[in-house]
Amino acid sequence: MLLVIDVGNTNIVYGLFDGTRLVHQFRVESSRGRTADEYAVVLDHLLAMHGISRADVTAAIVASVVPSLTEPVVALVRRAFGRETLVVGPGVKTGMAILYENPREVGADRIVNAVAAYERVRGGVVVVDFGTATTFDCVTPRGEYLGGVIAPGIQISADALFSRAAKLPRVEITKPPKVVGRNTVASMQSGIVYGYVGLVDGLVDRLEAELDYPFDVIATGGLARLIAPLSRRIREVDDELTLTGLRIVFERNEKE
């Protein structure tokens, strides 16, 4: 099986593919203080819970936006499975032209999302990823990564509100009963949730006005399923988009 690893600022997501089928995925906290051995122990337990042995893992690929965690994760794969890891970055074949002014600045997760989204729609597409940051990645109908938008993520924006406003409580990020809140908690939830719906729809509207091609909008990331039903611009949600993109990039490099 192929082990794909998405190293984000908040979580590390592991996925196991049997061919093109994602059979398992695990999510753990991104802890910069953990060693490769500690990560190996955690992953070992997760695999054992599902009856998977180390010998079942035959290859691995990682996309990381946390440089300090990249090497521990590579070392984890080396120690646990005796495999070298393909790290998404310069020199790795993605099959997608990067039109950014400096392609090295584009996060690996944004590239693999774009690869998976284009493979899915085979046309213009915008990927909205609700991660630590909320990113909008634009792919042309010819399958070129054009660029995009980076906005503060929902959770970090809410955390800033909770920490900087002394009289406001910490609330669950969930859809409120109405837009007009009749108490403080509902009012905050409305501002957080519908405020982000407005951010998403407003930015996609501006992208549409600027881009000279039609596009689909695909959402992914932790809070995508909360925001998508309330948005008039998001057409579908794919929770496995990043992991699928990693698989596709691995297959393209394996053929090389």
The answer on 202 and 113 residing in a single domain is yes
Which are the catalytic amino acids? 109
The answer on 109 and 39 residing in a single domain is no
The answer on 148 and 120 residing in a single domain is yes
**How many domains does the chain contain in total?**
2
- Other Cβ atoms less than 10 A from the Cβ of 51: the count is 7
The answer on 80 and 17 residing in a single domain is yes
The answer on 122 and 55 residing in a single domain is no
pLDDT (tens place) for every residue of the chain, 256 residues total = 999 999 999 899 999 999 999 999 999 988 877 888 888 888 989 999 989 998 999 999 999 999 999 999 999 999 889 999 999 998 899 999 999 999 999 999 999 999 999 999 999 999 999 999 999 999 999 999 999 999 999 999 999 999 999 899 999 999 999 999 999 999 999 999 999 999 999 999 999 999 999 999 999 998 999 999 999 999 999 999 999 999 999 999 987 6
What is the span of the domain harbouring residue 33?
A: 2-87
Which CATH number fits the domain that encloses residue 120?
3.30.420.40
The answer on 115 and 37 residing in a single domain is no
Query: Which letter, b or e, does each residue of 90-128 get, where b requires 16 or more Cβ atoms within 10 Å of its Cβ?
Result: eebebebebeeeeeeebbbbbbbbbbbbbebeebbbbbb
Residue 135 placed within a domain:
yes
Global confidence as pTM: 0.93
The answer on 214 and 126 residing in a single domain is yes
